[in-house]
Amino acid sequence: MLGAIIIATVIVGGTGIIVGFFLGFSGEKFKVEVDPKEEAVLGVLPGNNCGGCGFPGCAGLAAAIAKGEAPVNQCPVGGAECAAKIGAIMGVEAGEAVRQVAFVKCAGTCDKANSDYVYTGVEDCAALEFIPGGGPKSCSYGCAGFGNCVKACPFDAIHVIDGVAVVDKEACKACGKCVAACPKNLIELIPYEAKHIVQCSSKDMGKNVMKACSVGCIGCHLCEKNCEHDAVHVIDNIAYIDQTKCTQCGVCAEKCPKKIIL
C-alpha cells in the first residue's frame, strides 16, 4: 500500500514538473511582445473601460494610440490632463479638446407633459416601443422616465427627476453610454460651455405639441428669425441650434414663447 502511494506521488509530481516546464517554455516561445508605449499609455488612462472612446476598454484604446490609430485625446473620461500625459508619452501635442456633456432633449416633467393612460408593466424604455403610442405620455417623443440611461451610466451622472432624465454636468464624462441606451434618441453630447439648447425633440405640428406638453417646441420660427448669426433653424417642426455658430447672445431664448431654450 505504501509503495503504491509513493509511486502515485512520484507520478503526480513528475507530471506537474513536466507540465510546468512545458508551460514555461511555451510562454517564452510564444509570448507576445507589448510595446512599452502601450503599457505607459494604459497606465495613464483612467481604467473605467466605459467604451466611450469607441474601443473595447482602456487596453484597446492604449493599443490603438501606441500604433498611431487613435489620437492621444481620444479618451473622453480622462479629459485634457490625461491627453497631455499621453501626448508626452507619444511625443506629440495633445491639442485642445472641447469638453462635452450629455444633454437630454426633453422638459416634459410630470406637471408639464400630459398622459393618455396609466401604464402598469415592465419599466423599461425600450419595451415601450411595443406599447400603444410609445408609452403613456401624450408626446411620443418625450422621455419615458424609466431610466435605461441611468442604468447605463458608469459615473452616476444621470438620474430621473420628476419623470425626466436629468444630467449632472459636473459628474458627466461624455462617455456616450446614455446616448446609446436611449431608444428615443433624446440624449446627445454637447459642448460643456453651451448655454442655449433646445430642450425638446417633438416633431409634431405646433397645435399637437400644445395638446401634449405645455413646454414643447411649437416650431414658431421666432428663434430662427431673431438670430443674427444664422445659428438657429427650425427643421421638421423643431428648432436646432448650431453650437459652432452660437454666440450665446440669448436672443433666441428671450423670444421663445414656450421658454424651451435653456
Distances (CA, A) of 241 to 22, 222, 248: 64, 13, 11
The CATH code of domain 99-193 reads 3.30.70.20
Q: What is the pLDDT of residues 174-202, one digit of tens each?
A: 999 999 999 999 999 999 999 899 999 99
pLDDT above 70 covers what percent of the chain? 89
Q: Domain residues of the chain, as ranges?
A: 36-90, 99-193, 194-262
Single-letter amino acid code for the residue at 96? E
Q: Enter the DSSP assignment of 68.
A: T
The CATH code of domain 194-262 reads 3.30.70.20
Q: Which residues pair with 113 in a beta bridge?
A: 213
Give the residue carrying C-alpha cell 413646454: 215
- Mean pLDDT score, 119-146: 90
CATH topology classification for 36-90? 3-methyladenine DNA Glycosylase II; Chain A, domain 3 (1.10.15)
99-193 matches 194-262 in fold: yes
Q: What is the pLDDT of residues 199-221, one digit of tens each?
A: 999 999 999 999 999 999 999 99
Q: What distance in Å separates the CA atoms of residue 145 and residue 160, rounded to the nearest whole number?
A: 6
Q: How confident is the model at residue 24 (pLDDT cuts 50, 70, 90)?
A: low
Reply yes or no on whether the pLDDT at 30 is more than 70.
no
Q: What distance in Å separates the CA atoms of residue 139 and residue 206, rounded to the nearest whole number?
A: 12
Q: How confident is the model at residue 138 (pLDDT cuts 50, 70, 90)?
A: very high
pLDDT of amino acid 68: 87
Reply yes or no on whether the pLDDT at 32 is more than 80.
no
pLDDT of amino acid 10: 64
Q: How confident is the model at residue 48 (pLDDT cuts 50, 70, 90)?
A: confident
Q: What distance in Å separates the CA atoms of residue 187 and residue 70, rounded to the nearest whole number?
A: 25
Q: How confident is the model at residue 22 (pLDDT cuts 50, 70, 90)?
A: low
